[in-house]
Amino acid sequence: MGERIAVIGCGYVGSVAAGCLASIGHEVVGVERDAARLALLRSSVAPVHEPGLTELLAAGVESGRLRLTDDPAAALEFADAVFLCVGTPPGPDGRPEMGAMSDAARTIAAHLRPGHVVVTKSTVPIGTGEWLAGEVRAELARRSRDGVPVVVVSNPEFLREGSAVEDFLHPDRVVLGGNDPGAVERVAAIYEPILAGRPGEGRVPLVRTGLSTAEMTKYASNAFLATKIGFANEMSRLCDLFGTDVATVMDAVGLDRRIGGAFLEAGIGWGGSCLGKDLAALVGSARDRGYEPRLLEAAVGVNEAQRQQVVDSLAGLLAPLAHRRVAVLGLAFKPGTDDVRDSPGLDVAKRLVLLGARVVAFDPMVREADPRWGLELAGDVTSAVRGAHAVVVATAWPEFASLDAGELLRSMGGDVLFDGRNVFDPVAMRAAGFRYVSPGRAAVGDAPGAPGPFAGAFGLAAAHEH
């Protein structure tokens, strides 16, 4: 018999959590106050593009294990565990906005009863679990209900856009933090079908810890991933200076079991809704306590420089850049999603527009352009690259890697190809007639050890100028 669970907030994290928890046998009520989103969910349509999520939601609704409502009172009356999945978007200073979490605290207090366990899945500042418990207690006292116990467990999410369902159901680990061991074990029991692991692969590690340590684990994980990417990108600058190939270097480095090859791909940097936001929150929290986290600040700086290097390189190769046509292939921050939040490709496109370039972009999942972006959106690759003086590959969609070099060059009005995701073979593209540029691969095919022809554009000085 499954547990009875309320999921408060059914956006990206909440809809995945609700669908997945229902799929492993629990009875789930998802609470969503946005009328348009709720209508989609009730029609078994995922509110975001995420492979497998729509099918999972449909199966949950059809089985009766998943219900959707805008009534938190009914959901909390039904449930024994309450999963908070409300949004914590970055504010003007980069810190998470906690308004939705405050609203959730008041909502919970109005309907909390003994036996409820509150589970925070939203990415929140370190110390939020204790803060949330205090907020709920204060509201309970205001309502003359201060005898109701408040039990909070932190259960941070580690979901990657494009594989969130897989990540939820088959995680590398489950982290549970709380000051009440019994409550932690109750949440562990909810995850038992997941913790059991795939047949033959053994159990999924369960980390039991305190509230703040669980919250710190989420920030530390994303900070390390961002730093690892930043390291690869810093190496790409050095590889261009010394005439070596960053792809080969990083492949060899990643074979060291102490390091691993994931997140060592050099390119134009990371983006999305998590890494930048989480680094900003962690850096800000550290500064509040009088510490300057220099390594994390450097990771952010390197990422910024990787985007600017595209603009600097094109400005040098196409001088003057004004009125030149540039095709940007890829606006989503990564393949498998339509999310353009903090997208490197979109950021580069905007910077080029500000310098007077005519930017035409194509992305297989991004079908509408905000007029404020200042760019044109093409319906296919052919339309985007036609007559372009330069092409920038900003997202590693598989269809871009399979483009025919000869046809691409014949379609263009120039010969500059900036491969921001290292999807092409540098030797083949240069042989086809392109002035091919890619971070850390400027000298591939040249004499061993010779500085690359674009080393100046990628030099370390440029990284510090911006």
Q: Which residues are catalytic?
A: 274
Structure-token pair, residue 211:
């509230």
Measured in degrees and rounded to the nearest 5, phi and psi for residue 319 equal: -50, 125
**CB 19, CB 48: distance < 8 Å:** no
Alpha carbon separation from 98 to 103, 107, 152, 163, 373 (Å, rounded): 9, 14, 17, 27, 28
Measured in degrees and rounded to the nearest 5, phi and psi for residue 374 equal: 80, 15
As a whole number of angstroms, the distance between CA 403 and CA 384 comes to 13
Spatial CB neighbours of 389, under 8 Å, sequence gap ≥ 6: 318, 324, 325, 326, 412, 413, 414, 416
Structure-token pair, residue 308:
């600017």
- Which residue in the block uniquely carries the two structure tokens 């691969």? 441
The strand pair at 435-437 and 4-8 is best described as unpaired
As a whole number of angstroms, the distance between CA 71 and CA 267 comes to 46
As a whole number of angstroms, the distance between CA 101 and CA 348 comes to 33
Spatial CB neighbours of 402, under 8 Å, sequence gap ≥ 6: none
As a whole number of angstroms, the distance between CA 8 and CA 146 comes to 23
As a whole number of angstroms, the distance between CA 392 and CA 355 comes to 16
E-assigned strands of 279-343?
325-329
Spatial CB neighbours of 176, under 8 Å, sequence gap ≥ 6: 153, 154, 155, 184, 187, 188, 206, 207, 208, 209, 214
- The SS3 of residue 419 is strand
- The SS3 of residue 457 is helix
**CB 35, CB 71: distance < 8 Å:** no
At position 461, the amino acid (one-letter code) is: A
Q: DSSP class of residue 160?
A: P
- Which residue in the block uniquely carries the two structure tokens 């949330």? 132
**CB 235, CB 250: distance < 8 Å:** yes
Residue 307's closest CA among 83, 84, 152, 462? 462
Alpha carbon separation from 421 to 152, 195, 264 (Å, rounded): 42, 35, 12
